[in-house]
């Protein structure tokens, strides 16, 4: 028997309309390259999004078409986050840190019909542009650096000429709204095609009081780039509750804002102080690097009440530092691009309130419990379910209303999806009786460096192409600053000389971004193997 | 283009499974008739719910069948809240305060195949039973008072004999999960048939930090009866986040727990103190009556951090008393049975923090802003949309993923639903520029007394049946204790004498519960009429 409730599609257009109607005066702040802060209201954003919708249809963009962005966290990118899906097209944020050849492959597969480019990345975009065949490019934030002859159109000119009325109509909540690529354990980038339904549900889920718990009173700073896993869903979560948004501007946050990279001044503390940030979201590397300076400026950043941390594990000592010294609550999350991305979150239970502080940080350093709507389980390689005893290790498998059921343009395989419809994450973990998950081993081949993924498989494949390389294994080794860095173990055809590492680095440089290049090369006679003939990376680690 | 995300039904079975798997040790507390508190864990509840599912199928209950409850807030009722919908059947909580003839009509229309009865209501249920033809009755909480000969089965005996394994399978999220009747402006009870989808979404929506904001650390006391608008969705909201639940037991809360009705002792304060209640939900009448005693026991009830208040307007002075004197935040909500029931909520905006206390209470006394996912608008009688200026009055119309699109077994009419698919609430309100709704006039004919609805239309129709009554109009007049009480304006065939009011009360007593009977009867020569010939209740109020 069917019920008799209203049943119309769950869409992002509803989030946009609600934000405009109920929270029209709330603010979006963007840090500009010159250090000033650009500000406008949701109401202004709404008007521009409607104009942008007309710009998109003017380019012939129709429901289902992919439209790419090549941009950092700015108000224009936020406008694109709404305009593209709300006309029924597919928002495809490109990871600006990927190498041009990698990205070109992704753009080809996605068949992007239009690319929006942040002028701050104009030079590096020009390198990409040689490899792709995208009909149109629109640029914002100053086009002065754009190579002459590139077929570009200016964003603001288009916006100002466009009509400011548009009637949103998403006919089906299962329409695709976004496409993000992930590089997983296999080294091949794989696309995740989100739906309006999945992102709407993800938004409600993360706004639960026990998840991100954002409110209208919050001022939220997403340091996580909007090209990473849909910016952790924050562009939608913030605006559905009516929080102010602070965008760190036209270059990746950690390069601009974090002291070791930006010199003596500390724009991050300044930005928090100036805009009254209450919640900030980013990877642990950012928070580790920023801590000393934030500690010095504790008075100035007293508005900050909470960090949302994900992308890699946050050490208990760092959680302690923020909670104890700065009074900032750390919400430690785990997820994947495939999961929109939120899976688990480590908040304390009522029962934990009686623990010692040290024990509390340990609980918070786990990846935590699934947010309502997410199911997790541990399984053996053959798929047998394992107990939640805090000791037994197994692969984490996930099911949720915001998890991918397959990859874009790739037939589902048993490597990634179980026959009963769960995602195989490739992460090895324990889960205790209270439902807290602890990742004990990463996906075997994935290296996480400063919040970015580096595929050892892809590096190995490239190294093997070098005429002097017989065999190569790349592993992640702990690094104080970046979390992990790649290290290459090489078997050569001949004796290595002092020029060999430089030659191999140069060989890789044409194919990968700088931060992918291994820092160290170790030359050996033989690489230990597992029983099935694969490089035994545990054994390699043991003899290093 | 369709996305590639998992797309399986949103169901209450997922809420149940999540509660069990992640929060198995959390507690359900029920106040017993003898004053002791019954306690068990979610894990125990889960086992019993599976047994209950087998009991239901043992009675031949199949997906779509309606199963009624005639019960207060107890752990058995909570078990029924899960077992019935999770086998695909329809949970139909009967309002125990309705008169037997009214309820019998509802049971007939619903075609309930089975009724679960709380023994505390056995005597009054016997009166209902004469009027209905329901195949089976199951009783819990002591059957000693049950009239001999009634075909009853004992709940615990059935549970103990049942198998404890059951595999939940809801094939379609649009399957009906619940049926609640409302008496609206027309006086006819109307059924609202909720779906798994609508209730799942309502659960995520109310658990937003800015809505009810419940967390795992909370201990929640729903004083609102579970037969009122699905207990405001709290049985699902609490268990999805893993909050402890405190159930006030086998009689309606206000009769047992509130001082004027329960004598010198104050079981409400005792219950809060004993179980550590942090959030309590109920109508303003309860909080008005409880306040003096709670004030005296402020130390004992210091765990209480928040009230969720709805069903009628909460006066600013009462909000102030709780917030200022007891440090308890009041979340003032508005909704309807048709809306699952949550529509709007009056929490302060960031911008309100600078207001004086008095101004803050005024904001909080409004019905507030729509929760994310709910759309509201103001319209004229002819459907023209009205501005949000804080002054213009119009009918409130609502659209949400958890609002009824039609009533059960009644063809939709223009009186209740607009042609573009919005619910006409019948409430007259203003909405200000910040999106705060203020109800200025109730649905013209509905009287709200102590959180209960009284239909003046139904009373008028019954009065007109009396041989001496020519004409009758019933209106709500303000009442310090109950909010509103019904008052009848009567035109008689002859002069009234001192026995007339008593005779009319007796005439109504056979058809309506005691609290529906008007306290006062005013005899007049003529009832003022509007231009369309209806009783002009504003004019009547003016000459009283």
HEC string of B31-88 equals ECCCCCEEEEEHHHHHHHHHHHHHHHHHCCCCCCCEEEEECCECHHHHHHHHHHHHCC
Q: For residues A285 and A448, what is the distance between their CA atoms, to the nearest angstrom?
A: 10
Cβ contact, residue pair B207, A240, below 8 Å: no
Residues A253, A262 contacting (CB under 8 angstroms): no
Cβ contact, residue pair B408, A213, below 8 Å: no
Q: For residues B473 and B461, what is the distance between their CA atoms, to the nearest angstrom?
A: 9
The single residue listed with the structure tokens 């724009």 is A267
CB-based contact (8 Å) between A168 and chain B? no
Q: For residues B112 and B103, what is the distance between their CA atoms, to the nearest angstrom?
A: 12
Cβ contact, residue pair A176, B215, below 8 Å: no
Shortest distance, CA A207 to any CA of chain B (angstroms): 5
At residue A318, what are phi and psi to the nearest 5 degrees?
-75, -40
Pairing of strands B136-140, B114-118: parallel
Residues B35, B65 contacting (CB under 8 angstroms): no
Q: For residues A535 and A537, what is the distance between their CA atoms, to the nearest angstrom?
A: 6
Q: What is the mean pLDDT of residues A329-347?
A: 96
Cβ contact, residue pair A8, B401, below 8 Å: yes
Interface of A with B in 34-63 (CB under 8 A): 63
Q: What is the pLDDT of residue B262?
A: 43
Q: Which domains does chain A have, with CATH numbers?
A: 12-163+173-333 (3.40.50.12780), 447-543 (3.30.300.30)
B349: chain A residues, CB-CB within 8 Å: 216-217, 242
Shortest distance, CA A289 to any CA of chain B (angstroms): 30
Helix axes A196-206, A234-241, angle to 10 degrees: 60
Q: What is the pLDDT of residue A262?
A: 43
Cβ contact, residue pair B7, A401, below 8 Å: yes
Q: How big is the A-B interface in CB pairs under 8 Å?
A: 207
* pTM as predicted: 0.86
Cβ contact, residue pair B405, A7, below 8 Å: yes
- Report the residue of B3, B388, B417 to disrupt the A interface, i.e. the one with the largest count of A CBs within 10 Å: B3
A4: chain B residues, CB-CB within 8 Å: 176, 192-193, 404-408
Q: What is the pLDDT of residue A462?
A: 84
Shortest distance, CA B143 to any CA of chain A (angstroms): 33
Could you give the percent of chain A with pLDDT greater than 90?
64
Within its chain, how far is the Cα of B60 from the centroid? 29
Cβ contact, residue pair B21, A172, below 8 Å: no
**Which pLDDT band, with edges at 50, 70 and 90, does A254 fall under?**
very low
Q: What is the mean pLDDT of residues A262-281?
A: 83
Cβ contact, residue pair A2, B172, below 8 Å: yes
A5: chain B residues, CB-CB within 8 Å: 174, 193-195, 197-198, 340, 401-405
Q: For residues A37 and A274, what is the distance between their CA atoms, to the nearest angstrom?
A: 9
Query: Residue A477 burial by CB count (10 A; 0-12/13-18/19+): exposed, middle or buried?
Result: middle
Q: For residues B515 and B500, what is the distance between their CA atoms, to the nearest angstrom?
A: 19
Cβ contact, residue pair A10, B349, below 8 Å: no
Cβ contact, residue pair A241, B399, below 8 Å: no
Out of A210, A401, A405, closest to residue B241 by CB: A210
At residue A217, what are phi and psi to the nearest 5 degrees?
-80, -5
Q: Above 70 in pLDDT, residue A308? A: yes
Provide DSSP, A199-224.
Answer: HHHHHHHHTBTTTT---TT-EEEE-S
Q: Is the ipTM of this complex over 0.90?
A: no
At residue B423, what are phi and psi to the nearest 5 degrees?
-85, 130
- Report the residue of B372, B387, B437 to disrupt the A interface, i.e. the one with the largest count of A CBs within 10 Å: B372
CB-based contact (8 Å) between B167 and chain A? no
Interface of A with B in 327-346 (CB under 8 A): 340
Q: Which chain A residue has the Cα nearest residue B178? A: A3
Q: What is the pLDDT of residue B503?
A: 92
Cβ contact, residue pair A176, B216, below 8 Å: no
Provide DSSP, B319-381.
Answer: HHIIIIIH--EEEEEEE-GGGSSEEEEEPPPGGGGGS-HHHHHHHHHS-BEEPTTEEEEEE-T
Q: Above 60 in pLDDT, residue A296? A: yes
Q: What is the pLDDT of residues A470-486, one digit of tens each?
A: 888 888 888 888 888 99
Cβ contact, residue pair A3, B176, below 8 Å: yes
Cβ contact, residue pair B208, A421, below 8 Å: no
Cβ contact, residue pair A6, B403, below 8 Å: yes
CB-based contact (8 Å) between B194 and chain A? yes
Mean model confidence pLDDT for chain A: 89
CB-based contact (8 Å) between B81 and chain A? no
Cβ contact, residue pair A217, B349, below 8 Å: yes
3-state secondary structure of A89: coil
CA distances from A87 to A15, A75, A113, B294, B400 (A): 14, 19, 15, 54, 21
3-state secondary structure of B10: coil
Interface of B with A in 239-258 (CB under 8 A): 240-242
CB atoms within 10 A of CB A104: 19
Residues 6+ apart with CB under 8 A from A533: none
Cβ contact, residue pair A401, B63, below 8 Å: no
Out of A3, A17, A177, closest to residue B3 by CB: A177
Q: For residues B198 and A11, what is the distance between their CA atoms, to the nearest angstrom?
A: 15
Q: What is the pLDDT of residue B148?
A: 43
Q: What is the pLDDT of residue A76?
A: 97
Q: Comparing C-alpha atoms, which of B402, B404, B509 is closest to residue B466?
A: B509
Q: Which of A309-318, A535-544, B38-47, B475-484 has the highest mean pLDDT?
A: B38-47
- Report the residue of A2, A5, A306, A360 to disrupt the B interface, i.e. the one with the largest count of B CBs within 10 Å: A5
Cβ contact, residue pair B14, A373, below 8 Å: yes
Q: Mean pLDDT lowest for which of A145-159, A234-248, B40-54, B253-267?
A: B253-267
Q: Above 60 in pLDDT, residue A519? A: yes
Q: Comparing C-alpha atoms, which of B10, B53, B24 is closest to residue B166?
A: B53
Out of A21, A351, A406, closest to residue B4 by CB: A406
Q: Which chain B residue has the Cα nearest residue A421? A: B6
Could you give the percent of chain A with pLDDT greater than 70?
91
Interface of B with A in 401-460 (CB under 8 A): 401-408, 421, 423, 434-435
3-state secondary structure of A190: strand
Cβ contact, residue pair B208, A210, below 8 Å: no
Q: What is the pLDDT of residue A49?
A: 98
What stretches in chain B show pLDDT beneath 70?
Answer: 143-151, 183-187, 251-265, 441-446, 457, 529-536, 538, 542-544
Q: Which chain B residue has the Cα nearest residue A194? A: B3
Cβ contact, residue pair A372, B18, below 8 Å: yes
A349: chain B residues, CB-CB within 8 Å: 216-217, 242
- Higher pLDDT pick, A511 / A437: A437
The single residue listed with the structure tokens 């050490």 is A315
Cβ contact, residue pair A215, B216, below 8 Å: no
Element (H, E) at B306: strand B306-309
Sheet holding B37-41, edge to edge: B37-41, B27-31, B244-247, B219-222, B279-282, B306-309, B329-335, B342-346, B369-370
Out of B204, B350, B421, closest to residue A216 by CB: B350
Residues B492, B523 contacting (CB under 8 angstroms): yes
Per-residue H/E/C for B477-526: EEECCCEEEEEEEEEECCCCCCCHHHHHHHHHHCCCCHHHCCCEEEECCC
Q: For residues B378 and A21, what is the distance between their CA atoms, to the nearest angstrom?
A: 13
Interface of A with B in 376-405 (CB under 8 A): 399-405
Residues 6+ apart with CB under 8 A from B220: B214, B234, B238, B243, B244, B245, B246, B277, B278, B279, B280, B281
Cβ contact, residue pair A405, B217, below 8 Å: no
Query: Residue A8 burial by CB count (10 A; 0-12/13-18/19+): exposed, middle or buried?
Result: middle
B4: chain A residues, CB-CB within 8 Å: 176, 192-193, 404-408
Shortest distance, CA B340 to any CA of chain A (angstroms): 10
């Amino acid at each position: 028997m069917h019920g008799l409730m209203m049943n119309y599609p769950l869409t992002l257009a509803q989030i946009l309309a609600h934000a405009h109607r109920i929270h029209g005066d709330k603010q979006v702040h963007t840090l500009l390259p010159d250090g000033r802060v650009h500000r406008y209201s949701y109401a202004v954003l709404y008007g521009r999004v409607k104009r942008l919708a007309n710009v998109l249809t003017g380019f012939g963009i129709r429901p289902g078409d992919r439209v790419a962005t090549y941009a950092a966290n700015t108000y224009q990118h936020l406008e694109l986050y709404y305009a593209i899906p709300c006309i029924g097209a597919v928002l495809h944020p490109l990871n600006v840190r990927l190498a041009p050849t990698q990205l070109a492959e992704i753009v080809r597969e996605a068949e992007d019909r239009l690319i929006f480019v942040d002028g701050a990345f104009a030079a590096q975009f020009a390198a990409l542009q040689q490899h792709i065949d995208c009909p149109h490019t629109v640029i914002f934030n100053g086009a002065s650096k754009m190579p002459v002859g590139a077929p570009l159109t200016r964003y603001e000119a288009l916006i100002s000429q466009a009509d400011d009325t548009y009637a949103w109509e998403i006919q089906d909540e299962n329409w695709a709204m976004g496409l993000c690529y992930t590089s997983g354990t296999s080294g091949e980038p794989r696309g995740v095609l989100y739906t309006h339904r999945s992102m709407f549900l993800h938004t409600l889920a993360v706004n639960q009081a026990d998840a991100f718990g954002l409110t209208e009173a919050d001022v939220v700073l997403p340091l996580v780039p909007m090209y990473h896993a849909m910016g952790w869903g924050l562009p939608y979560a913030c605006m559905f509750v009516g929080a102010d948004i602070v965008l760190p501007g036209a270059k990746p946050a950690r390069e601009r804002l974090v002291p070791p990279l930006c010199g003596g001044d500390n724009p991050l503390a300044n930005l928090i102080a100036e805009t009254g940030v209450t919640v900030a979201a980013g990877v642990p590397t950012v928070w580790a690097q920023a801590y000393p300076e934030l500690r010095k400026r504790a008075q100035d950043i007293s508005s900050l009440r909470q960090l949302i941390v994900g992308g890699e594990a946050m050490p208990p000592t760092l959680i302690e530092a923020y909670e104890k010294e700065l009074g900032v609550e750390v919400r430690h999350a785990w997820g994947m691009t495939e999961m929109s991305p939120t899976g688990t979150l480590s908040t304390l239970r009522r029962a934990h309130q009686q623990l010692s502080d040290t024990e509390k940080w340990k609980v918070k350093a786990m990846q935590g419990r699934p947010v309502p709507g997410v199911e997790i389980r541990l399984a053996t390689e053959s798929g047998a379910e394992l107990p939640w005893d805090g000791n037994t290790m197994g692969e984490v498998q996930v099911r949720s209303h915001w998890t991918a059921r397959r990859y874009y343009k790739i037939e589902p395989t048993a490597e990634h999806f179980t026959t009963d419809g769960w995602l195989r994450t490739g992460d090895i973990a324990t889960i205790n009786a209270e439902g807290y998950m602890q990742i004990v081993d990463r996906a075997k081949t994935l290296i996480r460096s400063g919040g970015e993924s580096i595929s050892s498989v892809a590096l190995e494949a490239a190294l093997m192409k070098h005429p002097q390389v017989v065999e190569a294994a790349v592993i992640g080794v702990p690094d104080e600053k970046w979390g992990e860095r790649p290290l290459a173990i090489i078997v050569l055809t001949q004796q290595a000389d002092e020029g060999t590492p430089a030659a191999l680095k140069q060989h890789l440089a044409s194919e990968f971004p700088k931060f992918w290049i291994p820092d160290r090369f170790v030359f050996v006679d033989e690489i230990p193997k597992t029983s099935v003939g694969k490089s035994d990376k545990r054994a390699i680690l043991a003899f290093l």
